[in-house]
Structure 1
Amino acid sequence: MSTNLTQSTTAPAQAEDPAPAKDLPKDIIIDILSRLPVRSLVQFYCVCKSWYALRLNPNFISKHFHHSTLSTANHGDRSFFLLTRHQSKAITLLSGTKSVDIPINMDIPFLNISKPLRISGSCHGLVCLSVMPIASILIIWNPATRVFKDLPVSNVKRPNAGPIKVVLGFGFDSGSNDYKVLRIVNYCYPLNQVEIYSLGTDTWREIEANVRFIIFEASSRVFVRGRFHWTALGFRELNGRELIVTFDLGEEVFSQFMLPNFSRENDDNDGDDDDDDEEDEGRLGGVQMVSWIEDVLME
């Protein structure tokens, strides 16, 4: 697969920048384009090379998402769930507002991949996909514009031992106005590597991190206020205790804190005389919520 930006339909020949556009400052042009609906925007990508280059420009994506969010607020919620079945290459779209959800098979231009896909995160309408089982291929995909990008192979030097577990996170760093992918590669304890990919620079780099935990396989990452959150199992002085682990995408540091004690064994009176209490365990998992413009997706 190519590491260049790709579209599922062949783009027509692109002309040089038109003369009228040169009379307008670049930031004004970007602001105008960022206010267009997706369907019109895709057509304008073909006007000139500089506009075509905006397809996965982090600053432009952020601005367009902001204006799209305002439009969505004025026209009601148009949220959707993206689902991937276990050990499957299919991706299904479900409406998040209708009483009856009708699966819609997505037109995915890179399904020639022979291995199963996993949704590893979504942010501002972009979806990060990884190829199972160890995220050997990573893709950032914009389903609304039909644009996707293969992430380059990391040049970080690997140890001789093969990875036993890979954990991914995808989010937006408002401080640098950039989209980033976090990759935690676990080898035999205590060996591990932590890497960050920047969409703005299109590069990977390794960061120093004291990883004293292993994230649970079934733990679903939650990205809130610039931080990833997982449930994990602590090592060393943490003595096998369950934790909530966070990673600040701007500061690029891990933090952890103990889970609250949900046990009611020592409660003298829980307000219920029934000795056969059952506790329901809930978690955020299984789906990724993405907001798009509905009429584009339903084409």
Structure 2
Amino acid sequence: MNKKKMKMKMKVSYGDIFGGNDLILCDILSRLPVKSLMRFKLVCTHWRSVIKENKYLIDLHLLRSKSRGEGTKLLISSVLGRKMDLFFCDLFQGGPAIPLLGRKATDDDRNNIFDKTLMLNPVNGLICFVKPFEGSVLIHNPSTGYKTSWLETRTRKLMRDHDGQAVDTSRMRWGFGFGFDPATNEHKVVSVFETINTEQKISKENPYGLDVQNCEVLTVGVRNEWRQIDKNCTPGYIVGASVYVNGVIYWLDEHQKVHEVIMAFDVRSEKFSKVIVIPTFINNRWRDYPDNGGIQTIWIYVDLVEIDGHIALLERVDACSFSLWIYGGVNTSDINYGNWTEEKIKFPFDLWDSYDDYVSFEAITGTDLMIIKNFNQQTKFETLYYYNRKRNNIEKQVEIKGIYLDRDAVGLKFSTYVDSLMPVQGKLDPYVCYTPESRV
């Protein structure tokens, strides 16, 4: 071989390994975990561009991550603490918990940008953190380590005076929902801003005593800017964490402290599309409930969860059992009553001492398993129970070590999230304390 031909061969770039065909390259890369793809970004400029920006690869990788077991991880977060603690570990094996926010328990409070923060349910590889009384959100991809800055809503920005100081927000709150548009493969955040009337002037025209309501939507990765939507599409008083199912975001609607309906927001059309009425045989009942060795008559309330691609209501029956009401209605009208199917689940031991004790429930998509974490546990590790809904038994127990919890938190929430390359148009998180080699 002469020197001229050898020189020409040496000029072949890494991007030409597959004959310049990015489809072949994307097909191969989409089968790999994100930790490997983060290393492959160093191969050459072309590969870096493909891994970071190629929409075909990003969408294909998400699809394949959701279809393979190792693509799903277990996410562990603190609930209602002053500080946000976040870890992840193997979904079915447990083991050591790896911190995701890069903050040790002894870190200075001022250095934690996630203080006084809530986390919405993960959706297709991304996490949305919210500050309900500050009107801002932060989107984070725990697989790539990229996150946005805190993104203030338009209503929040309008409240600042000329000196840049915020006005009193004690009568204000922002409700948030996090979802995904399956038609465009884009994540969206919806914000519902409310000011509460101090005199609680409840009337037919204003059943919630609200002075103002305003709705905004943010499409993640598209300039990350909020935009106002139709004012006539505002819901009632939404409470609790949102639940995303098949292109729709759901919340419980609270009226006079009673959950009467479920509000639904269609991510594609960006409209509050329907109302699902909660039947009285599920919701409106009093019960004598064991409480710290005595009996207390309380109003039973429900939690909104997702089961097998359906929304469901989780109702505590006693300390060791609960009912799961699965909604099976067809969404053909604005007001929907639908069909509700009850599943009764009973444990061989108590899950909580008091009705107000926090207990974590999480269904694993594509399986019959539900993860349940009981409230009262005095051990050096956390024990999760994997309950099989079809066999009505505890299929396995998993132990997780290395979790430190803020002393003000009421408990731990367990969620599942999938490995993904989904972009957030943000910066690499400087607070993460793990390296690509430590990601699982």
Match of 1:250 in 2: 268
- Could you tell me which of 168, 173, 185 is aligned with 2:181? 173
- Cα deviation, 1:54-92, whole Å, max 9, x if unaligned, reads 4477654332121123332xx6x8541331232213213
Match of 1:34 in 2: 30
In structure 1, distance between residues paired with 2:192 and 2:152: 15
Question: Are residues 112 and 252 of structure 1, via their aligned partners in 2, closer, same or farther at CA, if it must alter by over 3 Å?
Answer: same
Show structure 1 runs of 4+ deviating over 6 A.
Answer: 263-266, 276-280
- Cα deviation, 1:20-61, whole Å, max 9, x if unaligned, reads 279524444434332222222001223326734744776543
Q: CA deviation at 1:220?
A: 2.6
Residue identity (%) = 21
Q: CA deviation at 1:248?
A: 0.7
Q: CA deviation at 1:144?
A: 1.9
SS of structure 2 residue aligned to 1:213: coil
In structure 2, distance between residues paired with 1:101 and 1:290: 17
- Cα deviation, 1:206-232, whole Å, max 9, x if unaligned, reads 11143241112xx23111111111111
1:119 paired with 2:119, answer yes
- Could you tell me which of 215, 226, 231 is aligned with 1:204? 226
Is the contact between residue 78 and residue 291 of structure 1 (CA under 8 Å) also seen in structure 2? yes
In structure 2, distance between residues paired with 1:112 and 1:63: 34
1:81 paired with 2:75, answer yes
In structure 2, distance between residues paired with 1:262 and 1:279: 13
SS of structure 1 residue aligned to 2:281: coil
Q: Which has the higher strand share?
A: 2
Q: CA deviation at 1:139?
A: 2.1
- Cα deviation, 1:84-125, whole Å, max 9, x if unaligned, reads 232213213365435x77644335389641633321231122
In structure 1, distance between residues paired with 2:151 and 2:46: 22
Is the contact between residue 259 and residue 301 of structure 2 (CA under 8 Å) also seen in structure 1? no
- Could you tell me which of 253, 272, 275 is aligned with 1:232? 253
Match of 2:149 in 1: 150
Which ranges in structure 2 are unaligned for 5 or more consecutive residues?
1-12, 104-109, 161-166, 197-209, 286-295, 306-359, 361-412, 421-435
Whichever residue aligns with residue 174 of structure 1, its letter is P
Whichever residue aligns with residue 250 of structure 1, its letter is R
Whichever residue aligns with residue 238 of structure 2, its letter is I
In structure 2, distance between residues paired with 1:91 and 1:264: 33
TM-score (norm. length: structure 1): 0.70
SS of structure 1 residue aligned to 2:66: helix
SS of structure 1 residue aligned to 2:148: strand
Whichever residue aligns with residue 129 of structure 2, its letter is L
Question: Are residues 96 and 71 of structure 1, via their aligned partners in 2, closer, same or farther at CA, if it must alter by over 3 Å?
Answer: closer
Question: Are residues 116 and 279 of structure 1, via their aligned partners in 2, closer, same or farther at CA, if it must alter by over 3 Å?
Answer: closer
In structure 1, distance between residues paired with 2:259 and 2:65: 43
SS of structure 2 residue aligned to 1:288: strand
Match of 1:63 in 2: 60
Q: Between 31-40 and 154-163, report the one with greater CA deviation.
A: 154-163
Q: CA deviation at 1:262?
A: 1.8
Which ranges in structure 1 are unaligned for 5 or more consecutive residues?
1-16, 267-275
Q: CA deviation at 1:174?
A: 0.8
- Cα deviation, 1:164-198, whole Å, max 9, x if unaligned, reads 11111222201122111111121242412211111
Is the contact between residue 212 and residue 234 of structure 1 (CA under 8 Å) also seen in structure 2? no
In structure 1, distance between residues paired with 2:131 and 2:39: 30
TM-score (norm. length: structure 2): 0.50
SS of structure 2 residue aligned to 1:32: helix
Question: Are residues 51 and 19 of structure 1, via their aligned partners in 2, closer, same or farther at CA, if it must alter by over 3 Å?
Answer: closer
In structure 2, distance between residues paired with 1:141 and 1:265: 38
Match of 1:164 in 2: 172
In structure 2, distance between residues paired with 1:167 and 1:230: 10
Q: CA deviation at 1:19?
A: 5.4
User: Which of structures 1 and 2 has the larger relative contact order (alpha carbons within 8 angstroms, sep 6+)?
Assistant: 2
In structure 1, distance between residues paired with 2:129 and 2:61: 22
| Structural RMSD (CA) | 4.0
In structure 1, distance between residues paired with 2:152 and 2:283: 49
In structure 1, distance between residues paired with 2:284 and 2:126: 45
Is the contact between residue 260 and residue 283 of structure 2 (CA under 8 Å) also seen in structure 1? no
1:262 paired with 2:281, answer yes
- Cα deviation, 1:132-153, whole Å, max 9, x if unaligned, reads 64243x2221212222222654
Whichever residue aligns with residue 37 of structure 1, its letter is P
Question: Are residues 34 and 246 of structure 1, via their aligned partners in 2, closer, same or farther at CA, if it must alter by over 3 Å?
Answer: same
